[in-house]
Structure 1
């Protein structure tokens, strides 16, 4: 059986002093005069529950650095080991004053490494007189709290989901691992206080990653840094007007925010859409962002059509700033990639010799497909962003798409209130260059945001902060 070797009561005066100092520091002011200190000490006392957790956190903070009579909660010692020190400390015979002869402190410190100060030796004498070792319950809780924090942080850094029920399980594991005799289990109130003291709270999960990617996070950071260095070198061999970042993204036909205002207490929130398929079906957009912050004047858009092609009667609206393509699914493949190069990249709007910064989509690496539609006077070089890094070092991903979708949500929500007959899920409503419009109108706004788009390159580290 193992228990903490700690007794706080013997040093209560020290704890009172620490609490007073903490209160004084809490009401810090610019004046350091005696009157200023007196005024600060006249503030109301802390609530008892706060004082209790204050003592607890003090033990945890000082346990690893102070091994005196009140801070041995950082480690557990077997009672048999402590009792061995109790029996070893006295010598045969008595001093002239009648006290028991005892070994020198240096001898005790050398033999028992857990003894550090004279206070520890005095406690051995107390244990000898009492005939037993009684661990302090507060010390046990302090030790469990410190271990709980250490294990909780380890679980958080391992990417595991945690709830209060898991914390209760961890507390039980600590008690079992160290064979602690205690009835402590961690009440809901204690757990809430403990979480506040350690700045731990319930948070919404924002992203799920594979175990391999999570474990390879450091390797990915190295690859990202290396890519940024290589990209800067590659940029030096091309004109800024010939360097583009391109990426594809899926857009729902009807984009709405995930939250809305409603009466407090309402459990079911219903929102009207023009069509049930509008929030489940998507289309793909593929923009090109130039290194100087200017978007390509035309946006490549792929719609899913049952027949794999657009109807001829009537044909889709021909927006001047959109290049439309149709397939049985909106997800692009190598055939649609070839169509994109032929109708967007290899045109007069793009320089003859270009550098493309693309994500790890496998089709970007199929040079044969690209060469099959490349004119003789056109040259293209592609550098690939490492897999898993597009959300951090790709300009289109960190800036353009988020703003793009935000604009479209605002337009859809405005049309929902003001244009009752507008149907955002229909193809022509998405591509029409008229009011109300969605895709074409949003793209026209982005063409005037050159400075902001340039910032996205810099945020990715691919451009210096000053040029």
Structure 2
């Protein structure tokens, strides 16, 4: 994700920017996080990549990066279809919820009760609530408070890779998966439970105001970070939301810093 803004002298007629891949600025893929009203980010994250053949070929399957906290699928457009909804329900939603649950989704045409009923296990009871058309931006918890933070975290991470001159091509499918896996891991830290609770509170779904919380971008890239990496001593670029270690780019991204050791 590259920002659509940059600095230039006032009156400049041509503004030049640097991106890793021009074609990838219009390349689309979809993430579908699942959050609960008690402030948890459910795992795995659902990720749909754009593939010409609508699916991964056997050669791609052999080299595909498959982290435990991301379920990777594909489509011709990089967007979801009703079949993807069935897959998400089967592989992620029902695997995470109890025997009784309420599911809040937007009014996209693929989100219909018939599809949900078709894949609901016999031992599960689900109450489906669909957000009215045209109101998603006002009352969908992640739209109102969540996706902007997620995008900012991705953008900060991407900018660090580019500014450091690192040989990491963020538009490659495995690096897309790795980046989204790392962001999902970081935002799943217990440190942000109150933040996700606030997403529900701000829309009026819950009545109790959550305690104050720190923004993940502020915590990960802010002034609280140590100047040196805990591992190698080089300049740190991010503070882990779980273990609070400040890390150099290599140890966070290239070596894939998946963490679940929480230190308050």
TM-score range, shorter chain: 0.7 to 0.9
The aligned counterpart of 2:101 is 354
Separation in structure 2 between the aligned mates of residue 456 and residue 346 of structure 1, nearest angstrom: 22
Q: Counterparts in 2 of 1:147-166, with a 5 A limit?
A: none
SS of 2:59's partner is coil
The aligned counterpart of 2:59 is 313
CA 372–384 in structure 1, closer or farther in 2 if over 3 Å, else same: closer
Separation in structure 2 between the aligned mates of residue 426 and residue 269 of structure 1, nearest angstrom: 26
SS of 2:101's partner is strand
Separation in structure 2 between the aligned mates of residue 464 and residue 424 of structure 1, nearest angstrom: 41
Separation in structure 1 between the aligned mates of residue 173 and residue 184 of structure 2, nearest angstrom: 16
Gaps of 5+ in 2: 211-264
Task: Measure how far apart 1:258 and its partner are.
Answer: 2.1
Separation in structure 1 between the aligned mates of residue 76 and residue 5 of structure 2, nearest angstrom: 32
The aligned counterpart of 2:166 is 420
CA 314–393 in structure 1, closer or farther in 2 if over 3 Å, else same: closer
The aligned counterpart of 2:207 is 464
The aligned counterpart of 1:444 is 185
Separation in structure 2 between the aligned mates of residue 355 and residue 282 of structure 1, nearest angstrom: 30
- Residue 328, structure 1, aligned to residue 76, structure 2: yes
Residue by residue over 1:198-220, the C-alpha shift from the partner in whole angstroms, topping out at 9 and shown as x without a partner, is xxxxxxxxxxxxxxxxxxxxxxx
Task: Measure how far apart 1:265 and its partner are.
Answer: 4.3
Residue by residue over 1:33-61, the C-alpha shift from the partner in whole angstroms, topping out at 9 and shown as x without a partner, is xxxxxxxxxxxxxxxxxxxxxxxxxxxxx
- Say what the alpha-carbon RMSD is for the aligned residues: 1.7
TM-score (norm 2): 0.73
SS of 1:297's partner is coil
> Higher Cα Rg: structure 1 or 2?
1
Gaps of 5+ in 1: 1-254, 433-437
Separation in structure 2 between the aligned mates of residue 332 and residue 359 of structure 1, nearest angstrom: 13
- Residue 300, structure 1, aligned to residue 46, structure 2: yes
Separation in structure 1 between the aligned mates of residue 119 and residue 131 of structure 2, nearest angstrom: 24
Q: Counterparts in 2 of 1:268-283, with a 5 A limit?
A: 268-283=14-29
The aligned counterpart of 1:385 is 131
Task: Measure how far apart 1:378 and its partner are.
Answer: 1.7
Aligned pairs, number: 206
Residue by residue over 1:246-275, the C-alpha shift from the partner in whole angstroms, topping out at 9 and shown as x without a partner, is xxxxxxxxx122222334443322112221
